[in-house]
Structure 1
Amino acid sequence: MITIEQVSKKYKGADMFSVSNLSLQIHDKEIFGLLGPNGAGKTTLISILCSLIKPTSGTFSINSLTYKQHKNQLKQLIGIVPQEYALYPTLTAFENLKYFGSMYGLKGKQLDEQINNSLEHLGLLKFAHKKIGTFSGGMKRRVNLIASILHNPKVLFLDEPTVGVDVQSKNVIIQYLQDLNQKGTTIIYTSHHLNEAENFCTRVAIIDHGKIITKGQPNKLITECDGAHNLEDVFLSLTGKALRDHA
């Protein structure tokens, strides 16, 4: 589904590459986790794949479409759930979703029904006509998710989709994503919740300093790492325990 070939990115004025000569293949209908410390290059890589920023070098394709030749077509194929809330606080949940649906050319009764069905599935239908500014963090995360999948994307990018949410919201979000995946959506997921990633992802890649240092099925990576009992042990073994604060 996704082929990345020697992609690099160096921001203007930066001393180091955020992504360095990275190659990777992600298969159709996978739930693929991109894991790494702060500043490892995860968000930069996702931003490149979503055509939000250009790579300094290298290329990639999604569903055999290249970003250089098929940028607009690629945007129709993908959905993006950003780390920050991408919602209008003074609009209601329904109004937000109508707006985002219209950006993908959706309209009319079909869009209204899709919005209502999604809100109901995620436990939000009774809040459909409440302003987003009154919502809790978990509720905003769920609306953010709905906004990204109204056009039924083949590939869904998730940047920290459960950060800062309560346990109940997290459970509902993960279950909803698993249902989407079962229906054929390929999911690319980043998170610092390694226990969540271990149970959620079919494969993961651990990235550090813009490069992939290992990839594979979570249980296999755990088995192959001496003394590891879980994915967090593997992560710390490969990336170290030093703090990764950056500004």
Structure 2
Amino acid sequence: MITFNAINHTYPGEAEQALTDLSLEFGDSTVTALVGPNGSGKTTLMQILSGLLPSSSGGVSINGTGMRPNDLLGYSVMASSDRDFDNSSAGALVAYASLRPTWDQKLFDHYAQRFGFQMKPRKKLRKVSSGQAAILTGAVALASGAPVTVLDEIQAPLDVPTRYAFYEELLTLAADALEGRRPRRTFLISSHMVSELENVAEDVVALKNGRLLAHESVETFTSRICAIAGNAADVESFLVDHPGLGVITSRTLGSAREIVVDLRGRGITDREIASHSLTLSPCTFQDAFAYLIQENDQ
């Protein structure tokens, strides 16, 4: 159990906080998606969890034990699409990573074969493409065996086939950990390609302006933001019968009207929808995220 306890963080020279009173728990879920607009605090959260950045206040605990940044450095690993290791060779990066007691060389060799790494001893990573550097860094993170593995936009420079292959390897590793074939691990993955995370993650954490908007299962997240459509008069009658229902957006075309609503905490049944001659359709993961941000702006 990983717990964020009222985390606040402000970067030196900045007036606005990057994270504000952030409290959440990563429980039994194996893969959690971290989503939010640019500047929402995703990377800051990941760096704090990885021990790379001490928070201004608040703390992180694991299984009830408070963790200092140095403790988290040994417990976590973070991989990003930034070219942080450009002055190192692939061989040096792997040699350093293999110092971890949890390092799995056999697993890394499997990734090297699948993704075709060129492990030239002296070739600096700055001389390879962003995609090649990213998949190497991501593979090192997966093979590290770190109990907390943080992937910050690692898939952004990858082409579609490589990206999907990386997701496949991540899910295989997560399943092995969940079913006891490997030690338990928690994966936190962020991406602006939100639609791709729907089939990768079990839970989702959504941030906006450094604050927590949502933390729930992907299934709950996608089912709570719904489109209700039908005759405009029937939609209006439905809204009258459900005062306080949050309408995120509405559009009318002739006599038809569609509204997008947030059903969180509302026990609206299919029977109620049918009694007003309406249809209800859950939004996609990406649309639910976009509408949630829009709702927060309102």
Fold agreement, TM-score > 0.5: yes
- 1:186-221 CA distances to partner (integer Å, 9 max, x unpaired)? 101111111111111101011101111122122322
Instruction: Number of aligned residue pairs: give it.
Output: 234
- 1:1-247 to structure 2, matched below 5 A, reads 1-68=1-68, 71-88=69-86, 91=89, 93-102=90-99, 104=100, 115-120=108-113, 122-125=114-117, 127-129=118-120, 131=123, 132-184=125-177, 185-227=185-227, 229-240=283-294
- In the TM superposition, residue 115 of structure 1 has moved relative to its aligned partner by 4.3
Q: Which amino acid aligns with 1:173?
A: F
- In the TM superposition, residue 150 of structure 1 has moved relative to its aligned partner by 4.0
Once structures 1 and 2 are overlaid, which stretch shifts more, 110-119 or 9-18?
110-119
| 1:190–1:114 distance in 2 versus 1, CA, 3 Å | closer
| 1:135–1:83 distance in 2 versus 1, CA, 3 Å | closer
- In the TM superposition, residue 129 of structure 1 has moved relative to its aligned partner by 2.6
- In the TM superposition, residue 90 of structure 1 has moved relative to its aligned partner by 6.4
Cα distance in 1 for partners of 2:105, 2:149 equals 22
Q: Does structure 1 retain, via aligned residues, the 8 Å contact 2:98–2:105?
A: no
Deviation beyond 6 Å, 4+ runs, structure 1: none
**The structure with more strand, counted as a fraction of residues:** 2
Q: Which amino acid aligns with 2:283?
A: H
| 1:59–1:95 distance in 2 versus 1, CA, 3 Å | closer
Q: With the length of structure 2 as denominator, give the TM-score of the two structures.
A: 0.70
What SS does the corresponding residue of 1:14 show, helix, strand or coil?
A: coil
Cα distance in 1 for partners of 2:215, 2:20 equals 16
**Partner of 1:245 in structure 2?**
none
Q: Does structure 1 retain, via aligned residues, the 8 Å contact 2:80–2:134?
A: no
What SS does the corresponding residue of 1:157 show, helix, strand or coil?
A: strand
| 1:193–1:89 distance in 2 versus 1, CA, 3 Å | same
- In the TM superposition, residue 45 of structure 1 has moved relative to its aligned partner by 0.9
Q: Does structure 2 retain, via aligned residues, the 8 Å contact 1:3–1:25?
A: yes
| 1:90–1:210 distance in 2 versus 1, CA, 3 Å | closer
| 1:72–1:55 distance in 2 versus 1, CA, 3 Å | closer
Cα distance in 2 for partners of 1:221, 1:90 equals 41
Q: Does structure 1 retain, via aligned residues, the 8 Å contact 2:104–2:144?
A: no
Q: Which amino acid aligns with 1:238?
A: L
**Partner of 1:244 in structure 2?**
none
What SS does the corresponding residue of 1:214 show, helix, strand or coil?
A: strand
Which structure 1 residue ranges, 5 or more long, are not aligned? Answer: 242-247
Q: Does structure 2 retain, via aligned residues, the 8 Å contact 1:97–1:115?
A: no
Structure number, greater radius of gyration: 2
Q: Does structure 1 retain, via aligned residues, the 8 Å contact 2:29–2:203?
A: no
Q: Does structure 2 retain, via aligned residues, the 8 Å contact 1:97–1:146?
A: no
Which structure 2 residue ranges, 5 or more long, are not aligned? Answer: 178-184, 228-281
Q: With the length of structure 1 as denominator, give the TM-score of the two structures.
A: 0.83
**Partner of 2:256 in structure 1?**
none
Query: Whose RCO is larger (CA < 8 A, sep 6+)?
Result: 1
- 1:146-201 CA distances to partner (integer Å, 9 max, x unpaired)? 32244311110010121021011101111111122122221011111111111111
Q: Which amino acid aligns with 2:53?
A: I
Once structures 1 and 2 are overlaid, which stretch shifts more, 1-10 or 149-158?
149-158
- In the TM superposition, residue 145 of structure 1 has moved relative to its aligned partner by 1.4
Cα distance in 2 for partners of 1:239, 1:175 equals 29
Once structures 1 and 2 are overlaid, which stretch shifts more, 207-216 or 149-158?
149-158
- In the TM superposition, residue 101 of structure 1 has moved relative to its aligned partner by 2.4
**Partner of 2:233 in structure 1?**
none
What SS does the corresponding residue of 2:94 show, helix, strand or coil?
A: helix
What SS does the corresponding residue of 2:8 show, helix, strand or coil?
A: strand
Cα distance in 1 for partners of 2:176, 2:83 equals 26
- 1:71-104 CA distances to partner (integer Å, 9 max, x unpaired)? 444322212112313334563x3343123324x3
Q: Does structure 1 retain, via aligned residues, the 8 Å contact 2:4–2:25?
A: yes
Cα distance in 1 for partners of 2:3, 2:71 equals 16
